[in-house]
Structure formats: C-alpha cells, structure tokens
Amino acid sequence: GSKDAINTKIINFNNEKMQITWAARERFHNENVSFSYTFDEGKNKVWKPCPTYLLDQDYVSGCLFKTEGPTLAISIRSSNGSEELFSKELKSDYYIKPNKPENVTFFWKDDTVTVTCNKPERAVMCLLLELQYKSTFDKEWQSRTSKCCSVGDQGFDPRKCYSVRVRLKRRVPHCNVVNYSSDWEAETYWMNGTLLDSCNDDDITSQSNPVTVLSCSLAALLMMLILLILLCKWQRLHMSVMPAIPDAKYIFVDLLNDHNGNFQEWLDKTDRVVLQTKLEYEEPECIIEAESQQEDEKSSGKQGPSEKIFTFSRTAENSDLKAAQTACLIPASNTMASFAGFHILMNDDMYVML
C-alpha cells in the first residue's frame, strides 16, 4: 500500500525527547525495519539513524531520540535500507506531552479546596491544570480544569474522605493536534482539610482518634472543675444553714473510759477537780466594795443610805492556808440559791455568796 498508510504514534515528551512507535507485527510481518529522522528543513537534510530502538517480541516497533527542533521528518525503510516503507513530516510542537506538575500545594478553607503548582519553564499558555476528586460514596471522578497553574472547587463535605489527584494538559487544538496530558501526580487522601494515608475506615479512625481523645479529655476536666466548684459552694451553704454538732464522745470521754458510764461518780469527781482548781488559782482574799441602800419601814420615820464593807473567808483544804472570809457582791436579782455548799443571796443589785 501507500507509504503513509502505517499507523504511527508520536509523542514529544515535554519538548525534550521524541518517541515514534508503530504496529510492527501488523504492518511488517516477520520483517525488521530501520528508522531514520531529521530536524533539518529544505533539500539539504541530514538523516540520522535511530539511537535507541523499541522492540515488540524481538521486532522493531519504535524509536526514541532527542528533540532538536520544531519540524521533524521521519523515514522507515527495509532492514537493508534499500526500500523506503514509510515517511512523514510533522511539527514536533503539536505532539507535546507535559511532565507531571511539580510542587503541588493543597489549600483548604471550609468546603473549598484550591490546588496550585509551579509554572513550567516553557509554553505556560498552552497548559491547563486539571483537578479530579471523588469521595468514598462516589463511583466516578469529578473533574475541574483551569489555566495553569491554579484550580479549585467547592462543595466538599467535611464528613467525607476524598481521593484527589492533579495533572497538566495541553490545549487542543490551539497548541496540540493530539490531546496529551501529563501523568497524574501521586493520589492523596483528604478529610476536612486533613491529609490521610488512605480513605480506609481504619485509617480514618486512627487519624480522628487523637482529636476525639483530646476533646473528651478537655470535656472531662471541665466537668470535674464544675463539680468541684459546686461541691465547695454546697459545703459552705450546708455549714451556714446546719452548723456542725459537737461529738459527745469527746466531751464525756472520762465518763465512758474511767467511770464506765457512772454519771454520779464522774460528776462528783468533776466537781472536786473544778473546786480544787479554783482554790489553787484564786487569791486568798477578795474584797469588793458595794453600795446598798435600805429603806426602813415608813412607820419608823428613818430613811437614809447605808454603806458597808463585808469581808469573808473560805477555809482551804490545805493546812497552810489561813482561814478567811470573803464576800463578793455582784449585781443580780432578788433570788436565793445554793451551789456546791455555798449559799448565795441575790438582791436586786448584787450577789452575796456566803
């Protein structure tokens, strides 16, 4: 058939390397061929042999060589070079496949994600940045494309885990005759703006556990603080409303331990101890001056104040103490009482202890 009937695939890798391939087994049965190329224009072309052949089951199926210019001419000949089997001229710039995007950055804000990458050194106007993503509930990828080198989308659910990937594409037909795109950048996994290892349930749980534990710990500490404050306030309120009642066992410890509950015996001993203590610490004499008024009967016709100083003494049990009489006059009401062997006369204005 015709010299251009062969189906070839032409790729210019980022305008650095050219790769030309064909279906060797279908077009050239049991026959190896030779390949040559040139980037020269005009009649004075210098053909170069293929530096690196590509094989398909031991048959030559393509050639890989360096890109040296925008115009390319290729020729496929028989193994001995005597017969040309295929030839073609083309613009190498129309078959560019870009490299993967470099330094990809993801910026998350609420339900919106923005992806950026470094600008390539060549033909930036011919490039598009494509973003694809899908959640664990989606079957198909969702795609967004924008000019290089930033693309974004919104509507991301913070409760879902997303698989995200990006790549560069060449504009068609302005820059390429073939719709070539770069390889995908490494796929990443995101949930609520947090980078995960994957979207498996175990990974999501392991990533969310620290946040959950921290939240629960803070909530528990807050509850303990509130309970402590309420307990302190309750104790203060309880003490102000219901004061503490003294424990009787500390007051009557001698009654229970020394006297086996004999109240009369404990009372007698207690009175003697109190009396002896008072005697040891009281002064031998106590002289108190008091002023009293007496009124005689109206029939006697005599009226006037009388002032007396009474001196009494108590006999101490100690033989060294001298006998004395003491009278202490203290204001009181008209009452007669007796306490521990002493007689007390209570007038309107004083006590008299005898």
Which of 179, 206, 233 is the endpoint of a domain? 206
* Domain contains 176: yes
Give how far Cα 143 sits from Cα of 124, 160, 207, 214, Å: 21, 17, 27, 36
Look up the CATH number of the domain holding residue 163: 2.60.40.10
- Does 129 share its domain with 198? yes
Per-residue model confidence (pLDDT) at position 325: 39
Question: How deeply is 146 buried, as exposed, middle or buried, from its count of CB atoms within 10 A (0-12, 13-18, 19+)?
Answer: middle
Final residue belonging to a domain, choices 147, 179, 206:
206
Q: Is residue 299 part of a domain?
A: no
**Average pLDDT, whole number, for the chain?**
76
348 has pLDDT over 80: no
Q: Residues 254-291: pLDDT tens digits?
A: 666 666 767 677 677 766 555 455 545 455 444 444 44
13-17, 159-163, 280-284, 326-330: segment of lowest average pLDDT: 326-330
pLDDT confidence of residue 231: 84
322 inside domain: no
Q: pTM score > 0.85 for this model?
A: no
Asked if residue 213 belongs to a domain, the reply is no
Domain hosting residue 82, numbered range? 8-97
Q: Which of 163, 188, 206 is the last residue of a domain?
A: 206
Is residue 142 scored above 90 in pLDDT? yes
Same domain, 124 and 56: no
Condensed to tens digits (0 to 9), the pLDDT of residues 222-262 reads 888 898 888 888 777 777 776 666 665 556 666 666 667 67
CA dist 254 → 246, 248, 257, 268, 340 (Å):
16, 11, 5, 13, 21
